């Protein structure tokens, strides 16, 4: 099966089961060649709805999770988004399809993965800024952003990321130790946040 056909079938299934509800999210998932973000020996598995290893004990998230999180941050063209955990760059590319060039700022702790993602994104034509560093610190130079999300599980929502997200924005990520919950957080003017729990999940822990 051709990659594009497999990708369309995958997205069709996510839409049919209402895992993905926004048309912009579905279009973004259709546009990004997930197989280009995994090693050659994983490419035949790229359009199965499952996480895959990308090296250094990290994974590329399952497409349904990427789609669900993109729905939850509810962004539009021109919105500025902070990503914590670049990984292979796939999630950032999907987000960039919605918000446009130059609007995604991604922080990766693992230098090898971050450098590879930066190069891969550029080669595929995505203008995504990638910084190597501690995701807990966010990226203050680009604050405030309209939305933030984490692709790795933190015990608690990082304070800096909350503070760098606009009070009319949203932070989405997996939080908790052992039992993780995908949550949607709305930052408040006092530095706190309101939290909505979406579903139990399992992500690699934040480094």
Positive or negative CA dihedral for 195, 104, 139, 87? positive
Q: Treating both helix axes as pointing N-terminal to C-terminal, what angle do 111-123 and 90-99 enclose, rounded to 10 degrees? A: 40
pLDDT score of 1: 60
Q: How far apart are CA 161 and CA 115, in angstroms?
A: 22
Do strands 165-175 and 145-150 pair parallel, antiparallel, or not at all (unpaired)?
A: parallel
Domain that holds residue 129: 63-201
On whether residue 121 sits in a domain, the answer given is yes
On whether residue 19 sits in a domain, the answer given is no
On whether residue 46 sits in a domain, the answer given is no
Predicted model pTM: 0.96
Mean pLDDT of successive 10-residue segments in the chain (207 residues)? Answer: 92 97 98 96 96 92 97 98 98 98 97 97 98 97 98 95 96 93 95 94 88
On whether residue 29 sits in a domain, the answer given is no
In the chain, the number of structural domains is 1
- What Å distances lie between residue 114 and 14, 172, 177, CA to CA? 29, 21, 25
pLDDT score of 112: 96
On whether residue 26 sits in a domain, the answer given is no
On whether residue 53 sits in a domain, the answer given is no
Residues labelled catalytic: 61
On whether residue 76 sits in a domain, the answer given is yes
pLDDT score of 183: 97
On whether residue 5 sits in a domain, the answer given is no
pLDDT score of 205: 86
pLDDT score of 93: 98
- CATH code, domain carrying 156: 3.40.50.150
């Amino acid at each position: 099966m051709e990659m594009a056909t497999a990708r369309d079938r995958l997205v069709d299934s996510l839409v049919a089961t209402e895992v993905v509800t926004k048309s912009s999210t579905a279009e973004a998932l259709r546009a990004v060649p997930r197989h280009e973000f995994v090693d050659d020996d994983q490419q035949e598995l790229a359009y199965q709805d499952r996480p895959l290893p990308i090296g250094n004990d990290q994974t590329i998230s399952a497409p349904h999770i990427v789609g669900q999180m993109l729905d939850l941050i509810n962004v539009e063209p021109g919105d500025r988004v902070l990503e914590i955990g670049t990984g292979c760059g796939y999630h950032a590319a999907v987000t960039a399809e919605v918000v446009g060039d130059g609007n995604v700022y991604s922080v990766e702790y693992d230098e090898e993965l971050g450098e590879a993602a930066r190069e891969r994104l550029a080669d595929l034509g995505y203008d995504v800024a990638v910084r190597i560093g501690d995701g807990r610190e966010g990226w203050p130079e680009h604050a405030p952003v309209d939305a933030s999300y984490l692709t790795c599980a933190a015990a608690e929502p990082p304070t800096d990321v909350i503070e760098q997200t606009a009070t009319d924005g949203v932070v989405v990520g997996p939080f908790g130790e052992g039992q993780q919950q995908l949550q949607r957080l709305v930052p408040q003017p006092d530095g706190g946040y309101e939290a909505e729990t979406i579903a139990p999940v399992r992500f690699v822990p934040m480094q």
